[in-house]
Chain A
Amino acid sequence: MLFELFKFEIKYRLKRSETYVFFTALLLYSLIAVEALFGNGTELIRANAPFIIAKTMGVTTAFFMAVVSMVMGVSVLRDFEHHMESLMFINPITKKAYLGGRFLGSFVVLLGIFSALLIGLIIGNFLPWKDPATLLPFHFWSYLQPFLTVVLPTIFFGGSLFFVTGALSRRIMVVYVQGILLLILYIFTLQLTAGSGNKQIIAILDPFSFQAIGGIVEFWTPAEKNTRIVPFEGILLYSRLLWIGIGMLSLIVGYYRFNFNVVTGKAGKKASTTNQSKASTTGASISIPSPAIRFDLQTAIRQLASHSWFHIRTILKESSFWAIAACAVATIFINSISLDIKYGVDSYPATYLIVSQLIELSVLFFLFIILFYSGELVWKERDANFHQVFDTVPVSSFISLTGKLLALLVILAFLLLSMMAAGMVFQAFNEYYIFEPGLYFMEFFTGIFFFLVLLSLVAFFFQSVLNNKYVAHIAMAVFLVVGIVVLNLSGYSHPLYSFGGGFLPMYSEMNSYGSFLKGYLWIKSYWLWFSIMLFASATLFIARGTETDFKQRWKSRRQRYTKPLGRLIAGAFLFFVFSGGYIFYNTNILSDFDFPSAEKVYKANYEKALKKFEHLPQPKITAVNLNVDLYPSERNFIAKGSFTLVNKHDQAIPEIHIQKAPSPDLTIERIEFERASEADNTYEEYGYFIHTLDTPLQPGDSLKMEFRQTYITQGLETGLNHDIVQNGTFFNNNYFPTLGYHPDIELEDKSEREEQGLKPRARRASINDPIALKQGMANDDGEEIRFEIVVSTDSSQTAIAPGYLESHWTEGDRSYFRYRTNQPITNFYSVTSADYKVVKDRWTPSANHSQDPVELEIYYQKGHEYNLKRMMKGLKKSLGYFNSHFSPYQYPQLRIMEFPRYRTFAQSFASTIPFSEAIGFMMDIDDEKDVDMAFAITAHEVAHQWWGHQVNPANVQGRSMISESLAQYSALMVLKKEFSDEKAHQFVQREMRRYLRGRSDEEQQEMPLALVESGQDYIHYGKGAVNMYALQDYISEDSVNLALKRFLRDWNNIDGLIKLRTDRYATTNDLIGYFREVTPDSLQYVLEDLFETITLHDIQAVSGSYESTASQQFEVNLEVDVTKLRLNKSGIEDTVEVHDWIDIGVYAEDKNGSQELIYLKKHKITEPLTNIEITVDRRPTKAGIDPLHKLIDREPDDNVIGLSGKEEGRESP
């Protein structure tokens, strides 16, 4: 019997079109899934690496949980939906056979559908456009294994759950809500991982298992990632067992709870109602009144309102709707733990952050609601079999459909309003009382709601025209994927044909929406007209009556057509074309729109045409004098300037090559030299101009160059320029002309270069490259310059540039600021302007320094006062530490200026530090648990005044170790001094994770710290902090500082003893030389480990015990296992001999019962397995090796072990 039902189920499903639609959808998605989720592979990590396949399968299964619900949820439900239950249940079928047959049959079909994932991924491997260099040889097992271990358990779990909920609730809505809850569970786990909760548990609780996979491969090297199959063990195994178990449990519960009767608890009620009705008599004597019946505009409006109110009421009565609403509101509270975490610190719950979190988390809900309810609403009458009544009602299809649309939109608005309320409650909970309902409204209703309206219109269109609920769901999904995702991925997106045209511009408390809102609204209205057009024409084709095939509906469109509807469609079309034309004029004619792909070609062509000039001798800039007139409200500026150029080569320079900054809004109006010259515009398309001097510039000669340029923002300003804005302008010298070929314009990405027929580009010149050694941070245009600038801006704003403020005056509604530097600065400067508040202070050096005080200023946005004290303290303490340990600070002032959150970094220019709104200023620092990152970032940036501005590193490998790793070290030392070892240690541990994670994502080759190349942040920040901290631990802070002091003495730009005698800049070879001088012979190996090689340790405490030998004498016996690993050139880790000094630590309980380190000393370890004996004077609890994690070890948790104790022959408990 069970088998019969099983067969019946499969046969039934094979006849249903949905089965094939689902299969095809999954197959098509799987073909491109890897690219969509992970992008193209690289030669280092291939696109078909086993872990990528596993992750892709996990994510795709999660995406397609809706399919699982649609297949499994309806298998029992449909008997009830089609009122077949009486027929089914009177047959002599046992419950076991019925449920078993249905479940197994549906599950086999589901498995068949999901085999599309396996097939699709495999075929995807062989698609013609795949680059074989980014692929591994095909291995079937790499696909089958994750299918069995990841996909199968997930769909079993989901399928069982949906099957049971469908069978028990007998309501399709419940099945859908389960899908949502599962999705929430997923989002929830993601959020938890973003915080620092217990990763193991989170990984196990993730039903889709990509947390588990992520956890397993987190620190794998690229070589491992390419070769190893994600092992089915540990957290992955436990997670799978847990979810299979939950699936089985739900099946068992479902089996016992399923009521094998026709009616569930309604029979009693029914009987009583019929009895009552029998008691009453007929109402033959009652006369029916004749109401006035009118069909005019007022009635139409009334009908529309009544119709939408009717549907709103129906939705509001659904308990599932309230479940969705509760989830949407709850997300903010679930998510509270990870509110815009930067550097491990939460931000204040500013409204824009709350809103973006809410939208990010709820966008899936909204998509789902629209997808689902559009189907339910359009099909409402047909699903209830009420359509024969409804379709004879004298209401036009337009009013009927519009009423339903309005119902959906009101429901969405209701959800948004409740999320808004939840957001404010959340803010109040967090003691943040700045409520901005206006901003909420703006973000929700001009932002996401506008897009939801568009989606709803389109969803109604599909539902009406396709006339099949499920096909329309799929069509809508395909539409979204193609219209938004694929276009964006393929690099061919344009607001005119990427559906919806993009998101609300980013809100900044400094710059609000700037002028970006106008373009946004134009584009949105363009899409609104488009969607209205679709919607209105859909009302001509929607099924009405009992004949619903498309031929009939096409025939009856003429009867449906009315003049007002025609006018609406025509009007929408006109506005659509008009706004489209306006947008096109603005994006493509006024401003030079380029597809990302066209930009790639441009960059490649630039390189191909002009690379030949790269090493052409050009003069160096030695002085800059600028006049910049900023017009913030128009987002324009006009600059006049003069550069002093000096020929530092030993040959004459006949022509000077000028590169205009690559921005279409920027025009160089005039370039003149002190002597006559002739301009050659051959390369004008690249903004590259060759000026041939009548008399060449002789070696040692100097020449003034004068220019005038304008920057005029044009078009709809939808572009990405966030540098020049209404409030919070911040741009650097990249906006001014540069000399010669500009390598920064080149394409960087290796595979993009390959597409354009270009060879890979070195990320940084070799450490011995003779040309690059003579370049510093400012590349090739000259390094040390005298600098003077006059900036004028709107009188409401303050403009700031490097140097001291020589004078300040106003003319009319404009303010002028003249800055000049007291000594040469690096050819790297910025201009900022905003309506600032300022806090001022002064740092006075201690008495034994004959140094002037330094004026300190922080320019900030009103309202962002939270961390000013911390930042000011950071400025002062850093100046104090660096001044006394390194060298005197070189400028009479030091400033921090806030800039809008479009960009999130802080950057050090000479004596000025632009600092993003998004970091530091908005951090909600808890001194108990957080590192004071406002202080630490400030310290890091101040350190750059030494590392970068006093010593300019050569533009070769290792450059950013000198600038960034030393800044990290300096900040750490200030942090340690002003706070505690623990805070410094906490900082280092975060950098350790950054390093380990970064190296595992490395796309090319990991370099040793001393040879770090550009783009390897995880090395120069992460490993830099870890290893510099380790260095001072080995050789002492004073020794490191002494070495750095000598390094500065010899290599500083102004009067460095060596620098004065050479024209090259300092490298890490020089720096490590100074470290060697201060390092004892026994520890010289440490320098090699930390800087010159990639060395890791695999350290473990194997066993430990102690014995009480005398009163207050405890002998600890610890066995440790040390493996030292070194990455060779081909990326493989070799084991090398151990001869290392490593911390051994012993813990005891202190008075409060918490663990205290009572012994910490370096022991020399020479054998992989070593026994260590230590005597301590307190009863030990734990002991271990490298307990403070100073060495790089991927599994730090096994370093310390609990001790078993023996006391005078007796085992302690």
Chain B
Amino acid sequence: MNNLTISKLSKTYSNGTQALNKVSLDIPTGMFGLLGPNGAGKSTLMRTIATLQEADEGTVTFGELDVLKDKNEVRKIIGYLPQEFGLYPRTTAEVLLDHLAVLKGIRNSKERKEIVEGLLQKTNLYIHRKKKLSTYSGGMKQRFGIAQALLANPKLIIVDEPTAGLDPTERNRFHNILCELGENTVVILSTHIVEDVKELCTNMAIINNGEVLLQENPLRAINRIKGNVYSKTIRKEELAEYKRSYNVIAERLFQGKKVIHVYDERDPGKGFTPVEASLNDVYFTYIFGAAAQ
């Protein structure tokens, strides 16, 4: 199986924003989670792999394939679900999928019919296949998106923030579909929702401000900070002061009071109790730069 190897990839937009800064990643077969806050550079990275834009520096290879140069070859093997996309409102799912299938090289019309039907069933859109796409809900649209990404047996699947804006049921359904893909394909899933990664991914990277902060197996990542996360319930007014004194990596409200998590290699005492580290803590630890200290 081929790995997707990203090496020292940089990109600066014409308005001066540096979206990627020497990003290097090695992505094996399986589900790979790309975690990062909004604006971290996830979409830029995804679009660059998906042949939609150019990089300034660096290389991306997929097995033998130079992803940045042989765009048309890459297009033959990828499935891409953009973060944001629209559909032709007056077309039906069946027609549009069939059309895309031809464009993706499935010439035989019988085979095409089979795969279109199969995907519609898999994504649970079969009963809606003859409806105009303008009547689709957000979840249905997203499922259609994954259906089209899977059309031509892609070897590399890129899904960009697929669950943003979906309700829990839809999200769950979506996860079930994604879950099956990772077996013999490289699947890159970008998200800012830690749960997505936790539920689906065997590998992950955390990216912020265009830089890779961590590439690790999620469990090992948790192990790294295991025993270094402490929790305390405080009054809201005290938050600022705690933030000054500790590496506060998470805060949430619980019954009107603040519960904070801090990262510390030693027990801070003072009413802090050690807690079981979660992937969330890993994420915020890296995002807020606590691990580097």
Which B residues are CB-close (under 8 A) to A395? Answer: 103
CA distance A552 to B103 in the complex (A): 25
Which A residues are CB-close (under 8 A) to B179? Answer: 284
Which A residues are CB-close (under 8 A) to B75? Answer: 392-394
Q: Are the CB atoms of A282 and B173 closer together than 8 Å?
A: yes
Which A residues are CB-close (under 8 A) to B86? Answer: 384-386
Among A447-455, A542-550, A869-877, the stretch in contact with B: A542-550
**Contact A302-B102, Cβ < 8 Å, known A288-B150, A293-B153, A545-B47:** yes
**Contact A389-B82, Cβ < 8 Å, known A317-B90, A396-B72:** yes
Which A residues are CB-close (under 8 A) to B87? Answer: 384, 386
Q: Are the CB atoms of A389 and B148 closer together than 8 Å?
A: yes
B200 within 8 A of partner (CB): no
CA distance A266 to B87 in the complex (A): 17
CA distance A117 to B71 in the complex (A): 49
B115 within 8 A of partner (CB): yes
Q: Are the CB atoms of A547 and B54 closer together than 8 Å?
A: yes
CA distance A277 to B135 in the complex (A): 12
Among B124-132, B211-219, B250-258, the stretch in contact with A: B124-132
B25 within 8 A of partner (CB): no
CA distance A556 to B72 in the complex (A): 12
Which B residues are CB-close (under 8 A) to A1111? Answer: none
Residues of B150-180 whose CB lies within 8 A of A = 150, 152-153, 169, 173, 176-177, 179-180
Chain B interface, number of residues (Cβ within 8 angstroms): 66
Most chain B Cβ neighbours within 10 Å, of A276, A306, A310, A389: A389
Residues of B28-54 whose CB lies within 8 A of A = 47, 50-54
Chain A residue with Cβ nearest B173: A282
B114 within 8 A of partner (CB): yes
Which B residues are CB-close (under 8 A) to A388? Answer: 47, 50, 52, 80, 82, 84-85
Residues of A252-290 whose CB lies within 8 A of B = 266, 269-270, 273-274, 276-278, 280-284, 286-290
CA distance A290 to B122 in the complex (A): 14
Q: Are the CB atoms of B122 and A286 closer together than 8 Å?
A: yes
Q: Are the CB atoms of A280 and B115 closer together than 8 Å?
A: no
Q: Are the CB atoms of B85 and A385 closer together than 8 Å?
A: yes
Query: From residue B202, how far is it (CB to closest CB) to chain A in Å?
Result: 18
A840 within 8 A of partner (CB): no
Q: Are the CB atoms of B103 and A394 closer together than 8 Å?
A: yes
Chain A residue with Cβ nearest B99: A310
Query: From residue B144, how far is it (CB to closest CB) to chain A in Å?
Result: 10
Which B residues are CB-close (under 8 A) to A291? Answer: 101, 106, 108, 111-112, 114-115, 152-153
Q: Are the CB atoms of B88 and A293 closer together than 8 Å?
A: no
A391 within 8 A of partner (CB): yes
Q: Are the CB atoms of A306 and B51 closer together than 8 Å?
A: no
Q: Are the CB atoms of A282 and B177 closer together than 8 Å?
A: yes
Which A residues are CB-close (under 8 A) to B99? Answer: 306-307, 310
Residues of A354-405 whose CB lies within 8 A of B = 380, 384-386, 388-389, 391-396
B280 within 8 A of partner (CB): no
**Contact A273-B54, Cβ < 8 Å, known A289-B115, A388-B82:** no
B289 within 8 A of partner (CB): no
Q: Are the CB atoms of A545 and B76 closer together than 8 Å?
A: no
B69 within 8 A of partner (CB): yes
Q: Are the CB atoms of B121 and A389 closer together than 8 Å?
A: no
CA distance A288 to B181 in the complex (A): 11
Report the 4 A-B pairs with minimum CB-CB distance, sorted nearest first: A385-B86, A291-B111, A388-B82, A545-B52
23 A-B pairs with CB atoms under 8 Å apart are A266-B134, A273-B135, A277-B137, A282-B176, A282-B177, A284-B180, A286-B118, A286-B121, A288-B153, A291-B101, A291-B108, A291-B111, A291-B115, A292-B106, A293-B104, A306-B102, A307-B102, A384-B88, A389-B80, A392-B75, A392-B78, A549-B14, A556-B54
Query: From residue B257, how far is it (CB to closest CB) to chain A in Å?
Result: 34
- Tell me what chain A mostly uses at the interface: helix, strand, loop, or mixed: loop
**Contact A546-B105, Cβ < 8 Å, known A277-B140, A288-B150, A393-B75:** no
Query: From residue B154, how far is it (CB to closest CB) to chain A in Å?
Result: 10
A597 within 8 A of partner (CB): no
**Contact A294-B72, Cβ < 8 Å, known A307-B99, A385-B85, A386-B88:** no
Q: Are the CB atoms of B127 and A280 closer together than 8 Å?
A: yes
Query: From residue A531, how far is it (CB to closest CB) to chain B in Å?
Result: 26
Q: Are the CB atoms of B88 and A289 closer together than 8 Å?
A: no
Q: Which of A274, A284, A295 contacts B105 (CB 8 A)?
A: A295
Residues of A within 8 A of B (CB): 266, 269-270, 273-274, 276-278, 280-284, 286-295, 298-299, 302-303, 306-307, 310, 313-314, 317, 380, 384-386, 388-389, 391-396, 544-547, 549, 552, 555-556, 559
CA distance A545 to B71 in the complex (A): 11
Chain B residue with Cβ nearest A551: B14
CA distance A280 to B120 in the complex (A): 13
CA distance A293 to B121 in the complex (A): 21
CA distance A1124 to B81 in the complex (A): 86
Q: Are the CB atoms of B104 and A273 closer together than 8 Å?
A: no
Which A residues are CB-close (under 8 A) to B137? Answer: 270, 273-274, 277
CA distance A547 to B48 in the complex (A): 11
Q: Are the CB atoms of A273 and B131 closer together than 8 Å?
A: yes
Which A residues are CB-close (under 8 A) to B124? Answer: 277, 280-283
Which A residues are CB-close (under 8 A) to B131? Answer: 273
Beyond A287-B118, A294-B105, 14 additional contacts (C-beta under 8 Å) are A266-B135, A274-B140, A283-B123, A284-B180, A288-B122, A291-B114, A291-B115, A293-B153, A307-B103, A389-B81, A393-B75, A393-B100, A394-B103, A545-B52
Q: Which of A278, A295, A392 contacts B169 (CB 8 A)?
A: A278
Which B residues are CB-close (under 8 A) to A389? Answer: 80-82, 85, 100, 145, 148
B136 within 8 A of partner (CB): yes
**Contact A559-B69, Cβ < 8 Å, known A273-B131, A388-B47:** yes
Most chain B Cβ neighbours within 10 Å, of A288, A291, A306, A544: A291
Most chain B Cβ neighbours within 10 Å, of A313, A544, A547: A547
Which B residues are CB-close (under 8 A) to A295? Answer: 76, 105
Query: From residue B76, how far is it (CB to closest CB) to chain A in Å?
Result: 4
Which A residues are CB-close (under 8 A) to B125? Answer: 277
Chain A residue with Cβ nearest B179: A284
CA distance A303 to B86 in the complex (A): 22
Chain A residue with Cβ nearest B81: A389
Q: Which of A276, A384, A392, A545 contacts B127 (CB 8 A)?
A: A276
Query: From residue A296, how far is it (CB to closest CB) to chain B in Å?
Result: 9
Which A residues are CB-close (under 8 A) to B47? Answer: 388, 545-546
Chain A residue with Cβ nearest B132: A269
